[in-house]
Amino acid sequence: MLDFMENVQNAFYEASHWNLDNSYGALNATARALLDFQTPKGLRLQISSLAAPNFATSYTLGTVGVVDGSVSYLYSSLPLTRELRTSSLELHHVIKGYRHLQNLRKPDEDWWWEVWHAGQRIDRRDTLLYGRIFLPQSRLEALYLRRLSPTRQLRISAVSDSNLNNGGTILTLLQNDTGKYSTEYMYSTDSALMGVRGLYNFGADPKAAPMAPITAPQIAEPVHGRFSAGAELYYGLLNKSGGLSTGLRFTTLPNHTGFPYTMTLTMNPLMGNLSSTYAVKAGPNLALCSRFDFNFYSYESELQLGCELWRRRRNTEVDWAVKKLRPDWKRPTTAPDDDVSGILKARVDQDWRIGLSWEGRIKELLFTLGASLDLKKREQIFRVVGIELQYSS
149/17 Cα distance (integer angstroms): 11
- As measured in angstroms, the least distance from the Cβ of 244 to other proteins is 6
291/265 Cα distance (integer angstroms): 10
Cβ nearer to other proteins, comparing 244 with 384: 244
CB 293 within 8 A of CB 268: no
- As measured in angstroms, the least distance from the Cβ of 296 to other proteins is 10
Cβ nearer to other proteins, comparing 89 with 279: 279
CA 33, 38, 44, 46: dihedral to nearest 10 degrees?
Answer: -30
- As measured in angstroms, the least distance from the Cβ of 165 to other proteins is 8
- As measured in angstroms, the least distance from the Cβ of 119 to other proteins is 42
The residues of the shown chain that bind other proteins, judged by CB under 8 A, are 24-25, 27-28, 139, 141, 143, 157-159, 161, 164, 169-171, 173, 186, 188, 190-191, 193, 195, 197, 230, 232-234, 236, 239-245, 247, 266-268, 270-273, 275, 293, 295, 297-298, 300
Cβ nearer to other proteins, comparing 57 with 189: 189
Give the helix, strand, coil percentages of the chain, each rounded to 5: 15, 50, 35
- As measured in angstroms, the least distance from the Cβ of 21 to other proteins is 13
16/149 Cα distance (integer angstroms): 10
Q: What is the DSSP string of 17-37?
A: T--TTSSGGGTTHHHHHHHSP
Cβ nearer to other proteins, comparing 25 with 206: 25
335/89 Cα distance (integer angstroms): 8
Cβ nearer to other proteins, comparing 233 with 356: 233
One-letter identity of residue 28: N
Cβ nearer to other proteins, comparing 86 with 372: 372
99/312 Cα distance (integer angstroms): 19
- As measured in angstroms, the least distance from the Cβ of 217 to other proteins is 36
